[in-house]
């Protein structure tokens, strides 16, 4: 989900007395929106709840978020998760950088993405 949309929804909920915590990976966007509490994970977009297929990292991320929700010392509190996507920070340069992909790899990824969309549409239609 869009970081800006989630952040604006959190602000609206807070203004109406409902405490929120945003878990996200786009620190600049979330902090610009001014959410009351933010757990930042320095992970690729789409992975704010922990590493894929890693229940331990997901459980830790949720636990941290709940702790921040409960104990944030002031408005606009940002806490950074201690988890790392990789020990090598070069993933930030490589992740989703289309200029570093061959035309064949781009085509393969598009085909894979289109296939996932077809699956999602079939699941949605069946529901």
3-state secondary structure the chain: CCHHHHHHHHHHHHHCCCCCCEEECCHHHHHHHCCCEEEECCCCCCCCCCCCCCHHHHHHHHHHHHHHHHHCCCCCEEEECCCCCCCCCCHHHHCCCHHHCCHHHHHHHHHHHHHHHHHHHHHHHHC
Query: Is residue 35 located within the same domain as residue 72?
Result: yes
Query: Is residue 11 located within the same domain as residue 64?
Result: yes
How many independent structural domains does the chain possess? Answer: 2
Cα distance between residue 108 and residue 81, in whole Å: 33
Query: Is residue 69 located within the same domain as residue 20?
Result: yes
For residue 76, the Cα-to-chain-centroid distance in whole angstroms is 18
Q: How confident is the model at residue 127 (pLDDT cuts 50, 70, 90)?
A: confident
Residues above pLDDT 90, as percent of the chain: 76
What pLDDT is recorded for position 21?
95
What pLDDT is recorded for position 57?
96
Query: Is residue 8 located within the same domain as residue 56?
Result: yes
Give the structural domain span for 105. 97-127
Cα distance between residue 73 and residue 76, in whole Å: 9
Structural domain contains residue 18:
yes
Q: Is the pLDDT of residue 100 over 90?
A: no
pTM equals: 0.75
Query: Is residue 81 located within the same domain as residue 101?
Result: no
Residues above pLDDT 70, as percent of the chain: 98
Output Rg (C-alpha) for the chain, integer angstroms: 17
Query: Is residue 64 located within the same domain as residue 18?
Result: yes
Query: Is residue 60 located within the same domain as residue 33?
Result: yes
Structural domain contains residue 42:
yes
pLDDT in tens, 38-73: 999 999 998 999 999 999 999 999 999 999 999 998
């Amino acid at each position: 989900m869009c970081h800006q949309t989630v952040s604006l929804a959190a602000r609206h909920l807070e203004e109406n007395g409902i405490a929120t915590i945003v878990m996200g990976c786009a620190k600049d966007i979330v902090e610009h929106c001014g959410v009351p509490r933010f757990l930042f994970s320095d992970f690729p977009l789409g992975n704010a709840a922990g590493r894929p297929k890693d229940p331990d990292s997901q459980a830790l991320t949720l636990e941290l978020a709940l702790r921040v929700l409960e104990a944030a010392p002031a408005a606009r509190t940002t806490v950074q998760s201690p988890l790392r996507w990789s020990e090598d920070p070069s993933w930030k340069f490589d992740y989703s950088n289309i200029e570093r992909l061959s035309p064949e790899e781009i085509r393969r990824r598009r085909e894979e993405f289109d296939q996932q969309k077809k699956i999602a549409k079939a699941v949605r239609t069946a529901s």
